[in-house]
Amino acid sequence: MSAVQLFNVSGSDIRFGVTEHGTPYAVASDYAKAMGYGQASDATRLLGDDEKGQQIVLTPGGPQRLNVIYEDGMWELIFRSTLPGAKEIKKRVKAILREIRETGRFEAEPVREVTTAAGPLPYREQAEVLAILRHVLPESYAAATGKVIMARAMGERPELDSAETPLYASTFLAEKGHKPATVAKFQSGFGVRVSNRYLKVHGKRPEKIPGPAGSRIDKVVAYVEDDRPLLEQVYAEIADEIGMFESGGQVALSA
């Protein structure tokens, strides 16, 4: 799973990351928008298979598989661009990629880190979005998110009790140290099992919240840290199957 960093490129925010093999990439939807394309597909269809791909990226809704554009693809779109600001975009992207190649770190004046606690929008806009969507969100989730936004905006570390801290099944698997391919393979079946166990324990299904912007996932299940023991129980039941998969075996995880 890749962590990403948000950079401002000629007025557009673009998430950049590095693959496990050290190859820089940009999230396709961000980069295409910056280059003047209406849809990411309008840009990626111009690229070769080795210039684009998919990566599991850490987003506000947990790890998600996103379309990305690799370094060669970035240059290809810049060379094709007729935007008046293409020269400035080239200069900015060159500086970002140079830092990534030379240091493996994001030091070219990053805007902010994108984590599960702070989304890609500026904090003021996050607060505005939360206010608009509050009536469709679980009250506990909305309250916790508001506290996180306020703390981040003030430069403080969010302090939430275990009944407020969001916990996602996919993030839980990633925290166990599993590779992106393993998380992608098991997160659905694991999530179903956890949901069924939650129903058995609480007599109802866990609440769902809107998925992250730009994701193909409409809803994600919202657990909290208080539910971690339940996730641990289910994980213990499938740990051998996960180990078999990571050792090269074939498994089929049932609900």
Examine the domain organization and report whether 53 and 137 are in the same domain: no
Mean pLDDT of all residues in 237-251: 81
Report the candidate in 38, 37, 73, 83 with the shortest Cα–Cα distance to residue 53: 73
Considering the domain architecture, whether residues 125 and 205 belong to the same structural domain is answered as no
The predicted model gives 16-30 an average pLDDT of 86
Last residue of a domain, one of 105, 130, 160: 160
Q: How many other β-carbons are positioned within 10 Å of the β-carbon of residue 202? A: 11
User: Looking at the structure, do residues 170 and 150 belong to the same domain, yes or no?
Assistant: no
- With a cut of 70, say whether residue 12 has pLDDT above it: yes
- The mean predicted confidence, pLDDT, of the chain is 77
Q: Where are the alpha helices (DSSP H) in 104-179?
A: 123-133, 139-153, 169-175
204 is in which domain, residue-wise? Answer: 164-255
Residue of 38 and 162 predicted with greater confidence: 38
- Work out the pLDDT band at 46, boundaries 50, 70, 90: very high
Q: Please name every residue paired with 164 in a beta bridge, in sequence order, or none if there are none.
A: none
Is residue 42 within 8 A of residue 28, CB to CB? The reply is no
- pLDDT at 56 exceeding the cut of 70: yes
For the CA atoms of 223, 29, 100, 1, the dihedral, rounded to the nearest 10 degrees, stands at 30
Q: Over pLDDT 90: what percentage of the chain?
A: 18
Same-domain pairing of 94 and 171: no
- Which residues lie across from 12 on neighbouring strands? 9
pLDDT at residue 152 in the model:
65
**Hey, which of 3-17, 69-83, 136-150 has the most confident mean pLDDT?**
69-83
Strand, coil or helix: 100 = helix
Shared domain for 148 and 241, answered yes or no, is no
Q: In the prediction, which pLDDT does 108 show?
A: 40
**Edge-to-edge strand ranges of the sheet holding 24-27:** 52-59, 62-70, 24-27, 12-18, 4-9, 112-114
Q: Find the mean pLDDT for residues 85-99.
A: 81
pLDDT digits (tens, 9 = 90+) for 115-136: 333 334 566 777 776 777 666 6
Region 43-69: mean pLDDT is 85
pLDDT tens track for 204-221:
988 876 554 444 445 677
What CA–CA distance (Å, rounded) separates 133 from 141? 11
At 38, is the secondary structure helix, strand, or coil?
Answer: coil
CB within 8 Å of 105: residues ≥ 6 apart: 99
Domain count, the chain: 3
Within this chain, do residues 10 and 103 fall inside the same structural domain, yes or no?
yes
